[in-house]
Structure 1
Amino acid sequence: MLKQTNQVTPQQLETVPHSLTNTDPWIYQRAWVEINQAALHHNVRQLQQILAPQTQLMAVVKADAYGHGAAIVAKTVLEAGVAGVCVATVQEGIQLREAGIEAPVLIFGATDTPEQVRAIAHWQLEPTLCNSQQALLFSKILSSLATTVPVHLNLDTGMSRLGMPWQQAKQFVSLVQQLPQLKIASVYSHLATAESTDTTVIRQQQQRFDEAVSQLHQAGIVPPLLHLANSAGTLTDQTLHYDLVRVGLALYGLYPAEHLRRVIDLQSVMQVKARVMQVKDIAPGTGISYGYKSIAQKQLRLAVVGIGYADGIPRNLSNKMIALIRGQQVRQIGAITMDMLMLDVTALPDLQTGEVVTLIGQDGEFQITADDWAQSLGTISWEILCSFKHRLPRVALTVAGQEG
């Protein structure tokens, strides 16, 4: 059983009249994103069932939880039993603290200014250190503050992005261990090709990571935690799990690769919806939207919908996308504009202004996913999820009775 966390239920959002007598701001939304917290709980449980016995789950909520709303997601998954959350920037971490999140917050990105170090210490965040210069800067600033910060040490085992080269792990970790203001929380790396069916690079990175850890053990250094796997790595092989896994995409109900669908059953968390703003009849030969990229070949009934590329609907989906109304598929036509798009609703002659359109999500027997859009555009589902702008409010659905 689901209930609305805001004052207005999803059903009320779909049926509300257009009178301006109601003062609740949710009444007037032309478009919004629904976040299914029951699906989040389900996905956490599914992931926990495949983890190695000693492994904890960390939730990746960077980029506003891949467009789902970082505070909503963080609170939900922490209730479901994840060990902590991961972000990309200091500001993202601060926003979670301001939202009341008290769990560990790991920052993936490089932080290398005195201002960032002070903010990390003040908000009790956990930074990633990638090189010796960064470690020394942290030590200097934290000494002046007379405080200690947990740090996570990133080794580059083949991603060629942030991180100390894995061959230098012993020197790097030894240096950090000698700096009294820094408390090593973990040593980790990041997989570059974990979604591939060819595991050659995955195994090479795993071997390099293991060799680096072996160097540390030979030097008498035993990091409290080790982690390597992202969503794809988590779904691929338990030997990649170590002490933590860092899961993003799978948490939100999408699979990093088609062959991983058989591993666990995930439920999509996000639905994107908008309202019909106007319904009109279009005569044959009439051009539709900017540039007349679509010309009516016959009499059409057209619905103008209140969502566009400024909200995150890719303009390159123009004349390619399908939407759902009343459990039926309808075709988008004409160029998608900044704030609106048009649908051919000829098959729905009694469609009314104010009715709800599903752009991503399920309506009746049909479902549209971020994967569908990504395939049409030749991109990845991560990009689609992260594209929805903040002028689309996130409407959280919460669990009234937790599933067993």
Structure 2
Amino acid sequence: MTAESSHTSIIEVSRAAIQQNLDCLREFLGPDIRISSVVKANAYGHGIEAFVPVAEAAGIDHFSVFSGDEARRVVAVKQPGTDVMIMGWMGANDVEWAVREGVDFFVFDLTRLEAAAAAGRKLRRSARVHLEVETGMNRTGLDRRQLKQAVELLNTWNEEVRVRGVCTHYAGAESIANHVRVQRQITRFERICHWLENHGIHPDMRHTACSAAAIAYPRTRMDMVRIGILQYGFWPTREIQVHYRNRRQGFALKLRRVLSWKSRIMVLKQVHTGEFISYGTSTFAEEDKLIAIIPVGYSHGYSRSLSNQGRVLIRERRAPVIGLVNMNMLLADVTGIPEVKAGDEVVLIGTQGDTEISLASFAEFNDQLNYELLARLPAETPRVVVKE
């Protein structure tokens, strides 16, 4: 981030880290398993427009999103021949758009299946659908009765609808403690696939694994895996990370954090002994302090719960967040940091020299999951692709 920037902070996206993470995942999964890069929630905060072209350059040719608007953003920046798949919400006009553009989408109720067939019939082009089946999550997915009805309809809509895939999402895959529950869901899915084949439905692929399942439950990998958090350099949970390290056999999955979040000191403030700092009376200066005011607050995704707890990096030193985090500003105690001045770089997440503020430590102070913290980074904060 340059001192001339009008923005209060930037998010850097590392091209080298994306390449390393995807190379490691391909080596871990093997050459026969396709990776669908999950870029929902603005590519987990990394920015769809920044991340997708870099991931394509690293060999990705399939992206999964949650909604129609996310699909449109991916289509706008992707290369011809790269597949896009919508896993969730589709507005009234999205089904016809998806059929026209050759975008795949989940079908988890009969209404959407009927809309897919209608669009295919109108456009004289097959809708590319993935049947999401219920195996235990009890969220979205066709249950037994719906699946039977769907198959009856599909067998009469050979031209209008093409079944690209059959899929599910496992409940509890992020914890090894759920081993029995997950294995039952896998078995249930395999039986459903067998039943579909016997009733004339022959999908191009089967896919069920998220990042956690792909690591901990090899049976779930099948034809394609939907990899989200891992490609960004983070583990789904600490439990999955420990399980992998205990079970790995000669292969180290060396992931690198892709994202860095940076700002600059806006102004320095001298606070004298006996004065309160920021809103309220939570912070009292027991000695003279030098405070750096940084133009990032909870409106930018820096949680108020980090008040008097968070850390930032300034001149390769950790500076504690002091006082309450404001809507647009936070304060850091830079007393004792030599030569600190307005305009100095501030690292909120990332490295400065040999010192690091990791997302894990950031999230622990914040009482948030990695997923939640990343997804809450505002879309208006610029994403900049950097080499390293």
**TM-score after normalising by structure 1:** 0.88
Q: Deviations over 1:62-101 (max 9, x none)?
A: 1110110112211111221223000111111111222244
Given that residues 143 and 181 in structure 1 are in contact (C-alpha distance below 8 angstroms), is that contact kept between their aligned partners in structure 2?
yes
Shift of 1:167: 7.0
Q: Deviations over 1:80-139 (max 9, x none)?
A: 1223000111111111222244311100104363x2222223333211111222211221
What pairs with 1:236-315 in structure 2 (closer than 5 Å)?
A: 236-261=216-241, 262=245, 264-315=253-304
Shift of 1:183: 0.9
d(CA) in 1 for partners of 2:91 and 2:294? 45
Given that residues 315 and 337 in structure 2 are in contact (C-alpha distance below 8 angstroms), is that contact kept between their aligned partners in structure 1?
no
Given that residues 52 and 78 in structure 2 are in contact (C-alpha distance below 8 angstroms), is that contact kept between their aligned partners in structure 1?
no
Change (3 A) 1:310 1:394: same
Aligned position for 2:203: 223
1:153 aligns with 2:104: no
Q: RMSD between aligned alpha carbons?
A: 1.8
Give, as a single letter, the amino acid of the residue that structure 2 aligns with 1:225. Answer: M
Change (3 A) 1:84 1:338: same
d(CA) in 2 for partners of 1:39 and 1:106? 24
Shift of 1:145: 2.6
Shift of 1:170: 5.0
Aligned position for 1:131: 109
1:323 aligns with 2:323: no
1:67 aligns with 2:45: yes
What pairs with 1:172-211 in structure 2 (closer than 5 Å)?
A: 172-179=150-157, 180-198=159-177, 199-211=179-191
Shift of 1:174: 4.6
Give, as a single letter, the amino acid of the residue that structure 2 aligns with 1:182. Answer: V
Aligned position for 2:33: 55
Change (3 A) 1:112 1:158: farther
Shift of 1:158: 0.9
Aligned position for 1:42: 20
Aligned position for 1:4: none
d(CA) in 1 for partners of 2:100 and 2:280? 53
Q: Deviations over 1:168-196 (max 9, x none)?
A: 54543453343221111100001121110
Give, as a single letter, the amino acid of the residue that structure 2 aligns with 1:190. Answer: H
d(CA) in 1 for partners of 2:127 and 2:22? 28
Worse-superposed segment, 175-184 or 191-200: 175-184
Q: 1:107 aligns with which of 59, 62, 86?
A: 86
d(CA) in 2 for partners of 1:229 and 1:71? 25
Given that residues 36 and 226 in structure 2 are in contact (C-alpha distance below 8 angstroms), is that contact kept between their aligned partners in structure 1?
yes
Shift of 1:152: 1.0
Change (3 A) 1:211 1:194: same
d(CA) in 2 for partners of 1:220 and 1:391? 48
Aligned position for 1:394: 383
Shift of 1:321: 0.4
Q: Deviations over 1:2-32 (max 9, x none)?
A: xxxxxxxx6xx2xx5x6xxxxxxxx443311
Q: 2:64 aligns with which of 74, 82, 86?
A: 86
Give, as a single letter, the amino acid of the residue that structure 2 aligns with 1:253. Answer: G
Worse-superposed segment, 196-205 or 242-251: 196-205
Aligned position for 2:360: 371
Shift of 1:257: 1.6
Unaligned runs of 5+ in 1: 1-9, 19-26, 400-404
Given that residues 47 and 379 in structure 2 are in contact (C-alpha distance below 8 angstroms), is that contact kept between their aligned partners in structure 1?
no
Give, as a single letter, the amino acid of the residue that structure 1 aligns with 2:220. Answer: L
Change (3 A) 1:29 1:133: closer
What pairs with 1:347-362 in structure 2 (closer than 5 Å)?
A: 347-362=336-351
SS at match of 1:347: coil
Give, as a single letter, the amino acid of the residue that structure 1 aligns with 2:168. Answer: S
d(CA) in 2 for partners of 1:257 and 1:319? 26
Change (3 A) 1:220 1:122: closer
Q: Deviations over 1:251-279 (max 9, x none)?
A: 10000122433351110001001100011
SS at match of 1:294: coil
Q: Where does structure 1 differ by over 3 angstroms across 4 or more consecutive aligned residues?
A: 166-171
